[in-house]
Amino acid sequence: MPLHLSRSNAAALVLATSFCLLAGCAWLPSWLGGPSSRAAQPTALTDIRPQLTTRVAWRASVGAGRNAVLQPAVTENAVYAAAADGAVMRLAPDSGQVTWRADTKARISAGVGTDGFTVAVASLRGEVIALGADGKELWRTQVGGEMRSPPLVGRGLVVVRSTDYRITALDAASGKRRWTYQRAGVPLTLRSLTEMVYAGDLVIAGFPGGRLIALGSANGAVRWDVAVSEPRGATEVERLADVVGAPLVLGNEVCAASYQGRIACVDAATGNLRWSSEISAGTGPAADERRVYVVDSKSNMVAFNRAAGSTAWRQELLLNRDLSAPLALRRAIVVGDFAGVVHLLSPEDGSFVARVSLPAEIVATPRALGGGALVQARDGTVVLITTE
């Protein structure tokens, strides 16, 4: 996870990082001069006895993601995926066959977001590009600033987030600006993927400093602003406490996790805290009816009891394997790693129940599709993995 920093803190940070490179500060994360996950010796995989039979139902190639973290989007009757070179595709969910392919003629930095009617991506030049369900371009609007998380599409809006902490809502039909929310920056932040979600008529977004905010979708007004965690420590690095990944909506609750902080579940309407538990999160959470699952910053998988937040189990045999965010299916928790291995874990105790290998690193969050897991690798390979 790279980071952003203000010019006033750059010199001190360079000095601190340079010292650690010479002295070997193992406590620093890889994106700050410490050993990378791979240099820190990712845990070697051992043979497992599969408890589930897995099958690759279909496989498609959409084009490489390069440095962009591109996520597939799933609707009731379609799968949408994008490549860094500007291609956006609609795939048939039952076969993976390409229904249409559109060339946006732009370098895509974030996507895909869709509500089934409007399909949206963001470009490296600060454009938001909207396509119809038929693949024809509807509009493109310049919003400025780098965008790294998929547009949030729905309720007549395309909502995008820039790395300068600005959220912009565009009219889904015309691309005209409806409202903007701007939040002050902090000296040092993670350059991590942080997505937005809808909770009823609220847009939920996480921010640096451990803040979780709900905005009214009609006008962008702040409905509530709560702390998932509080920054602590003497240095800017120690005080990093950014909310990471996508918040999770569970009925009338919203759960979010922060780096060097906590996982917290709050009331969706008021922001009042339901429960919280200490963890340095590396991704956003997933959940089923009984548990909430989070990958920590060292790639350990942790399960929390959904009712009260107590720890149910920990899986530590994937240490330093750069895990993606998890997906909770009925019979397995699905997560991908830097080597392209998709791990399926038991929801009951975190034990390994199956494993599937893909040809490249998996950074996108797996998506649920037809009872299986839709996974996109860095090289553009998209597969649907089913279990029997």
Buried b (16+ CB within 10 A) or exposed e, 197-209: bbbeebbbbbbbb
- Report whether CATH 2.130.10.10 matches the domain 3-387: yes
Residue 233 CB contacts under 8 Å (≥ 6 apart), including other chains: 239
Q: Which two tokens stand for residue 3?
A: 């980071």
Over the stretch 173-197, which tens digit does the pLDDT of each residue have?
A: 999 999 999 987 766 777 667 899 9
Q: What is the domain partition of the chain in residue ranges?
A: 3-387
Tens digits of pLDDT across the chain (388 residues): 444 444 334 443 433 443 343 334 444 444 334 444 455 899 999 999 999 999 999 999 999 877 787 999 999 999 999 999 999 999 999 999 999 999 999 999 999 999 999 999 999 999 999 999 999 999 999 998 899 999 999 999 999 999 888 999 999 999 999 999 998 776 677 766 789 999 999 999 999 999 999 999 999 999 999 999 988 888 888 888 899 999 999 999 999 999 999 999 999 999 999 999 999 999 999 999 999 999 999 999 999 999 999 999 999 999 999 999 999 999 999 999 999 999 999 999 999 999 999 999 998 999 999 999 999 999 999 999 999 8
| pTM score | 0.90
Buried b (16+ CB within 10 A) or exposed e, 237-274: bebbbbbbbbbbbbeebbbbbbbbbbbbbbebeebeeb
Backbone angles phi, psi at 58, to 5 degrees: -160, 165
Backbone angles phi, psi at 345, to 5 degrees: -110, 150
Backbone angles phi, psi at 14, to 5 degrees: -60, -45
Find out whether 254 and 268 touch, Cβ atoms under 8 Å.
yes
CA–CA gap between residue 68 and residue 90 (Å, rounded): 19
